[in-house]
Amino acid sequence: MAKIEDKAKAYVIQCLACGATCSIDKEIIIGLHKGIYNECQFEIDHSHLMIKGYCKRCQESVLESS
Least distance in angstroms from the C-beta of 17 to Zn ion: 4
30 binds Zn ion (CB under 5 A): no
Among 24, 32, 44, 55, binds Zn ion (CB under 5 A): 55
Contact 12, 23 (CB under 8 A): yes
- List Cα–Cα distances, 57 to 19, 37, 50, in angstroms: 11, 33, 20
Q: Which of 7, 13, 14, 17 binds Zn ion (CB under 5 A)?
A: 17
| Residue nearer to Zn ion on the CB measure, 32 or 58 | 58
